[in-house]
Amino acid sequence: MTDAKASQITAEPPAFPMSRRCPFEPPEQYAELRKEQPIARVTLPTGQLAWLVTRYEYVRELLMDPRMSSNRDHKGTPVMFPIPERTRRVFDVYGKSLIGLDPPEHTRRRKMLTSEFTLQRVRSMRPRIQQIVDECIDGLLAGSRPVDLVQALSLPVPSRVICELLGVPYADREFFQGCTAMMVSRATAPSDRHRASEQLRKYLDELVTAKEKAPGDDLFGRLIARNEQERVFTHETLIGLAFLLLMGGYETTASMISLSVAWLLEHPQQLEVIRADPTATNAALEELLRYFSVFDIMPRVALADIEIGGCVIRAGEGVVLGFGAANRDDEVFENPDVMNLRRGDRNHVALGYGVHQCLGQNLARAELEIVLNTLFARIPDLRLTVPVSELSFKKDAGIYGINEIPVSW
Ligand code: HEM
């Protein structure tokens, strides 16, 4: 390590996460760090030290490095809020189902799922997604104004889609959405987090047990039937997987719908790009994904000493990969802070990269495209009833988003 680097890391590491000044922009410190100290020591809310990586090149390199682990069992794994031991046992159930595993176990499990999320499979889901979107918009148009777009569209579309794929009754949405919101918010009291995680675990345990008896012809049922032969998942890891798919399936996509619609309504000229030509929406949504990066960060831990960018990340040290920061790297994206809906660059890391790259990305893209094209075609005069500055953004959540969007037309 150079002397300069050594002196930088002995200075008091700044607190992380850093706050945003503008709700659609990442924290402004990212740009300075990316330039001056693209791999920097930071202090997490738990008091733990970790490396924050803000340069695109390094984020991608580390995502491909087999010496980096996603396994949350390692002591150095960055933790954003304290999780008492008894709650950790419940969190582990879903962490260890897929996303918190490394190859070769991760590869074996992921292979069981890939055929359910191919482009072809998602194409076959499109008519049903369109129907769900149309029904939500019918409901919205029939109701009183102003209406909260989050409850009327952003949440129900991906929730209904994932409920159907998993065979979860949509009527239970308030219950599971309430539980997951409590589990992932940094503002939740530890006892509430524990209760929510236990309740959801129990609920999903019952779901998996029922499906083991009668799998049914939905995604999860097919997986369980196949698993009977291949024995890749245990009952416990199926519970974890149900949780991962349920939460991964709606919270992220709902946030993307909310942020995209709010931003487009604030920028009518940009909205015209997709309204004038719905085939432009595919490229536009890549830019929306890059720009908002609802998963701002992702934790990893080093399994061996890794020399990168003039620093040495020691074995056992935690690393926070800055997806949001990488997606604004001007070495890779021209004018990265400008939303350019015609950019058409799919090289962002908003959906991850490497072995854990988002399994549901084809589905997420299809949902976003259908929602944006249908919404603005069916309600051309849709508008926000309050300025963006008055919207409440999810500052404390692991997945960035908006709590409520009052709209009228
Ligand atoms: C716009 C919406 C979405 C965004 C921004 C998003 C983002 C991501 C990211 C960044 C990762 C990588 C995590 C890592 O590197 O550790 C990931 C993984 C994953 N996503 Fe998504 N996701 C979205 C939608 C979905 C949907 C709709 C589903 C499922 C129905 C889904 C299921 C998953 C799963 C299962 C993984 C773990 C993959 C693995 O560990 O191999 N996601 N997602």
Among residues of the chain, what percentage have pLDDT more than 90?
80
Cα 352 to averaged position of ligand 1 atoms, centre (Å): 8
Question: Once rounded to an integer, what is the mean pLDDT over residues 30-40?
Answer: 97
The average confidence (pLDDT) of the chain is 93
Task: State which ligand 1 atom lies nearest to the alpha carbon of 110.
Answer: 41
List pLDDT tens digits, range 157-215: 999 999 999 999 999 988 988 898 888 777 888 889 889 989 999 999 999 999 999 99
Which of 252, 253, 321 best tests ligand 1's pocket when mutated (most atoms within 8 Å of CB)?
A: 252
pLDDT bin (cut points 50, 70, 90) of residue 11 is: low
Asked whether 34 lines ligand 1 (CB < 6 A), one says: no
For residue 135, pLDDT beyond 80: yes
For residue 64, pLDDT beyond 50: yes
List pLDDT tens digits, range 338-380: 999 999 899 999 999 999 999 999 999 999 999 999 999 999 9
For residue 301, pLDDT beyond 90: yes
For residue 84, pLDDT beyond 80: no
- Give the number of domains in the chain: 1
Task: State which ligand 1 atom lies nearest to the alpha carbon of 162.
Answer: 30
Which of 358, 362, 399 best tests ligand 1's pocket when mutated (most atoms within 8 Å of CB)?
A: 358
Task: State which ligand 1 atom lies nearest to the alpha carbon of 99.
Answer: 40
CATH number for the domain that contains residue 87: 1.10.630.10
Q: Whole domain around residue 346: which residue ranges?
A: 3-408
Q: The whole model's pTM is what?
A: 0.94
Chain centre distance of CA 302: 22
Residue in the block written with tokens 């002995």: 10
